Structure 1
Amino acid sequence: MFKFTALESLHNNMKLNDTKRVVFPFKYNEKGFSCIFITDILPYRLYLSTLGDKPITFELEINNKYETSSYIEDYKKLIEYLEIKYDPNHKFKPNDFFKSLNNKIPENCENKPNYKDVILIAAKHREIEQPNKIYFCGWKNNIVKNVTDGNLEKTRSAFGDELAELCKKKNISSRWTAIDNYEEINKINRIYTM
């Protein structure tokens, strides 16, 4: 296990500002990452996305003591992206990467990711229903069918545990579209139907 002491400091500042999600940059070996820290889902999630045309995303589950496993899924992809060469005197380990990240996590951050970005990133690691549909367009009260696990995971990734649990309890599905205009049209339609 590796403890991210800097995530604890960041999270304490997030609580003071009533913020649940932040995004911040990180560089290792001159290679950039976009990091999203999510605290309204338990365990917390830290997403590290590489920069470039074909980004790779790594998901770390962070417990309430700000610890994560020292294992990284897709470790070889991380090594390739970082262009780490074999060194007989020192074998690169995930904890080397984590230590550097921990030293560069900001204590304060006000940049918030939008839910669309979170869905796109989470879909690479989670079973999310219709991952190409990232524009929220309303709620569906299920009468005959039950809300699916994939829909609940999408709701959780976009809006957090609290809303996902309410949807599960009330058998409500979040509705999504791949057409960005529909999100805006639905907002207007709701105004006219009130």
Structure 2
Amino acid sequence: MKKIIFLIIASVFLISACSSVKNTVDGAKSEVTKNDNQPPEEKEYKDKVIAALDNQNADELKALFSKNARESIEDMDFKIALMLKRYKGKSKSVKYDRNFPVVTEDKEKGIKRIETYYVVKTDGGNIDFMYLQVVAKDDEDPDEIGISSMMYSPEIWQITMDDSNRGYYLWVDNPFWADYVDPDELMTTESEK
């Protein structure tokens, strides 16, 4: 009789422990999925960048960068041309590479920054990685609003970076070229040869 009571009590503890673990797991899962909603600004910029790439429209892509970024990025037109050359076809899928966008807000200064890594697949056969850093809001300096930095590469390790590497940049990896290419050497016309 004591064994039966002991087994019943042990079973109750075991069932309640499993239920507790399940609730904890479900709770943790719901916390993660609550953050699964894309910030509207992140979706807006991602969609516009992909549309500009799909349409091979350098002007549309350049216009998405903040005024300060457009003024600060060296050889921006060349880098955009390089990215458009790398991007083949139309997008088939654009998915997060890292779990979710990282949103950083400074409510006192009115600044909202969004960083996101994507895997971009095109019908031209490319599978590339893209990083976007968007300033969605800046009450102190509206010229900061827009893309402040972007990286595009066929290799994920090429675009990973630490948080101390902030600033304005557009970086496109092309495995056929060296780290630095003089645009004047590449952008020559037939008559100049």
Judge same fold: TM > 0.5, yes or no. no
Which structure carries more relative contact order (alpha carbon 8 Å, separation 6+)?
A: 1
Instruction: Provide TM-score, normalisation by structure 1.
Output: 0.26
Structure with max Cα Rg? 2
Specify which structure has the higher proportion of helix: 2
